[in-house]
Amino acid sequence: MNEVARPGPGALGLRDISKAFGATRALSGVSFDVLPGTIHALVGENGSGKSTLIKILAGVVCADAGTIELRGDRRVARSHTPGEARAGGLRFVHQQSSTFPDLTVAENLAIGRGFERGWGGRIRWAAVRRRTADVLERFGIDARPDTVVRDLGPATRVMLAIARALQDQADATEGILVLDEPTASLPKGEVDFLLASLRRCASLGQTVVYVTHRLEEVVEVADRATVLRDGVVVETLPRERIDHGELVALMVGREVTAAKSRRAASAPRPEEAPRVVLAADRLGRGGASLALRAGEVVGLAGLLGSGRSGLLRALFGAAPGETRVAIDGRPVLLRNPDDAKRAGLGYLPENRADSLFADLTIGENLSIASLKGLTRWGRISRPAERAGTAAAMRKFLVRGATSDAPASSLSGGNQQKVMLARWLHREPRALLLDEPTQGVDVGARAEIHQLIRRAVDAGAAALLVSSDVEELAALSDRALVVRDGAIVAELRQPGLDEAALDAAIHSTREAA
């Protein structure tokens, strides 16, 4: 392990932090330093202990042992509180948006600090706007005080949340900014803008702890990176040793092979083309038409708000109105999700909370789409359910204690595999997947890709929405570019790569 420098003013030091939840040890002797004016990445698979460590830093979870050093002051981690975290200069911006989209930029900033008030407690709006303009200039945010936040780009909203957290610092070296998955839902162009903004903040002396699953971002911006695995610090890497392969090897402790789509040397002759599993016309707000063939993954690419997710919802009968499609050449009317399920479609929505029943068991989550086969005389056979779900957990790579454990006890990657397995167990004709690997670690991502490829190799088709062009290029046999709900371009293997996708997505924007 590398020798690390001692922290200076405004930096963070962790010494022997440990935490157990019952018999589960989440953290064991975690020690590392965050140096002033650097971007320090914290990476690890789901379940590695990152979230627990961040909660301990925030004072919302008490450590069992260890010490925390802030601004050179050492305090016992067991008694660290949210008030001490704030007083010590720690500021947090979490993955879930903390801005208020229907309020103005000025109102959002004032909520984090308080409004300037005059006689009788009335808000001095002119003073609020002046102070907001100063904060926007200081953080390089291209917005006006009276701009409504929903009119800002996604990355600008993240920067606004960062500015709100740091606005009371006297200077950039005063505190420590902790960013938890800030780019999880951002497309590439927005990610580039945010990373450039963070580099600017660090160059001015701001200390940043950057928690992310996106290893390419770590390679791009991190000055140092600490890797956690099973609650233990594996290593802290200096800038010159940070590369994708090294990070994966340290995080996973095993070889990870990404699923690749089949890349035929030439297109099949018409008589060899696989059958069309799903065909749709006049779909969604843009009147899109598409066809999915057996054994292929079709990617849907586009900018945020392009209508990609709306196409999936329409195909699953989850959008207003009726959708007419053909499944294996047979016309089907999809009025609701039950119609879609009976037709052999499976749907994984973008928001995990819309599909996972966190208060139910893992087994109940797995079996909820297949209850008919488990029901006898109107009652669910629990022994049959337990036997079936235990087998499904093994088959679909779900790692949890038992099928009777609550779904909320699983890591994010395993929760995602549960929701995917729910449909794979039914052997669907077509899978509709909206950001299936968003917010999961590199190991879970590879396993989810493996499960998708296994299903299409067995004769299903998959329609995949992803904001990650690397994922689309790696997994898709062809990709459709969407704008305003309409399909405006198509790319096929072997010419389907990240550069071609980026060019197609942004050229359609410029043509709009």
Phi/psi-derived region of residue 355, left when phi > 0, alpha when psi is between -120 and 50, beta in every other case: alpha
Whether pLDDT at 196 is above 70:
yes
Is 383 part of any domain? yes
Predicted confidence at residue 173, as pLDDT, reads: 67
Query: Which tens digit of pLDDT belongs to each residue from 85-142?
Result: 888 888 888 766 678 888 999 998 988 678 888 888 888 889 989 989 988 888 888 8
Is 157 part of any domain? no
Q: By percentage, how much of the chain surpasses pLDDT 70? A: 86
The secondary element (H helix, E strand) that includes residue 341 is helix 337-342
CA angle 111, 117, 123 (to 5 degrees): 70
User: Could you give the CA distance from residue 235 to residue 215 in angstroms, rounded to a whole number?
Assistant: 15
Whether pLDDT at 6 is above 50:
no
Nearest to 438 by CA among 466, 457, 419: 466
Please tell me the total count of domains within the chain: 1
Calculate mean pLDDT across residues 489-505.
Answer: 84
Is 488 part of any domain? yes
Band the pLDDT of 188: cuts 50, 70, 90: low
Return all residues near 471 (Cβ < 8 A) that are at least 6 apart: 437, 445, 449, 464
**What range defines the domain where residue 493 resides?**
270-511
Report the DSSP beta bridge partners of residue 347. 432
Is 213 part of any domain? no
The first and second tokens of residue 247, run together, are 């990070």
Predicted confidence at residue 315, as pLDDT, reads: 93
Q: By percentage, how much of the chain surpasses pLDDT 90? A: 34
Query: Which tens digit of pLDDT belongs to each residue from 392-432?
Result: 788 888 886 677 788 888 888 888 888 898 888 888 999 99
Whether pLDDT at 246 is above 80:
yes
Report the DSSP beta bridge partners of residue 148. 104
Query: Which tens digit of pLDDT belongs to each residue from 154-163?
Result: 778 888 888 8
**How far, rounded to the nearest angstrom, does the alpha carbon of residue 105 sit from its chain's CA centroid?**
25
Is 161 part of any domain? no
Is 65 part of any domain? no
Whether pLDDT at 62 is above 50:
yes
Predicted confidence at residue 385, as pLDDT, reads: 64
Predicted confidence at residue 509, as pLDDT, reads: 44
Calculate mean pLDDT across residues 454-469.
Answer: 91
Predicted confidence at residue 265, as pLDDT, reads: 36
Band the pLDDT of 258: cuts 50, 70, 90: low
Predicted confidence at residue 304, as pLDDT, reads: 67
Mean pLDDT of the chain: 83
- Tell me the CATH number at 385: 3.40.50.300
* 159, HSE (Cβ side, Cα atoms, 13 Å): 26
Contact yes or no for 234/227 (Cβ under 8 A)? yes
The secondary element (H helix, E strand) that includes residue 42 is strand 39-43
Contact yes or no for 284/309 (Cβ under 8 A)? no
The first and second tokens of residue 132, run together, are 């907001």
Query: Which tens digit of pLDDT belongs to each residue from 288-337?
Result: 899 999 999 999 998 767 888 889 999 999 887 788 899 999 999 999 99
Predicted confidence at residue 235, as pLDDT, reads: 94
Q: Is 154 exposed, middle or buried (0-12, 13-18, 19+ CB in 10 A)?
A: buried
Contact yes or no for 43/227 (Cβ under 8 A)? yes
Predicted confidence at residue 222, as pLDDT, reads: 95
Whether pLDDT at 360 is above 70:
yes
Calculate mean pLDDT across residues 379-396.
Answer: 71
> Residue 355 has what DSSP assignment?
T
The secondary element (H helix, E strand) that includes residue 130 is helix 125-138
**Cβ count within 10 A of residue 328:** 15
Predicted confidence at residue 2, as pLDDT, reads: 37
Q: Which range has highest mean pLDDT (49-58, 435-444, 494-503)?
A: 49-58
